[in-house]
Amino acid sequence: MKMMKSLIFGVAMMAAVPSVADEMRRETVRFATGSSSSTIKSSVKGYQTVQYALSVTAGQKMSVQLDSRNTSLYFNVTAPGADAAMYNSSIDGNGTSITIPSSGKYLIDVYLMRNAARRNETASYDLTLYVE
């Protein structure tokens, strides 16, 4: 009986944990013809993450600027195939320019820090991407 209660408790706990896959929205960024930049206006709520994929060529300079009234909103930049972010705005600030080391799709993840996500806050933002 004790084992059955433990099993039921374990299943209930797993059901209560939000699925990461359900919380991520993915978008591919394509600049308009003749343009090298784009400003995306969007929002995230709670534990939601928006992942933007942008194809960039080695040697190009990619600039990312995140503007929001919510001070718990940040972004990470991850290189193709990497396991960890090459830039983390919660540490280094909500704007950066990176010289791209290798060609491929770079990922920009926009997310709320855990303190704001737990409160199910919504953060509207402008994400400006520029490649030269």
In a domain? residue 41:
yes
Number of compact structural domains in the chain: 1
Residue 18's pLDDT band, with cuts at 50, 70 and 90, is very low
Q: State the Cα–Cα distance between residues 104 and 99, nearest whole angstrom.
A: 13
What would the pLDDT profile of 55-104 be if each residue is shown by its tens digit? 999 999 999 999 999 999 999 999 999 999 999 999 999 999 999 999 99
Residue 33 lies in a domain: yes
pTM score of the predicted model = 0.82
In a domain, 13, yes or no: no
Domain extent at residue 99:
20-131
The C-alpha atoms of residue 99 and residue 42 are separated, in whole angstroms, by 26
Pairing relation of β-strands 95-99 and 122-131? unpaired
Distance (Å, whole) CA 6 – CA 102: 49
Residue 92 maps to a domain: yes
- 8 in a structural domain: no
Does a structural domain hold residue 114?
Answer: yes
Q: Name the residue with tokens 């409160």.
A: 119
Within-domain flag for 45:
yes
What CATH number is attached to the domain comprising 99? 2.60.120.380
Answer whether residue 60 is part of any domain: yes
Residue 53 neighbours by CB distance under 10 Å: 15
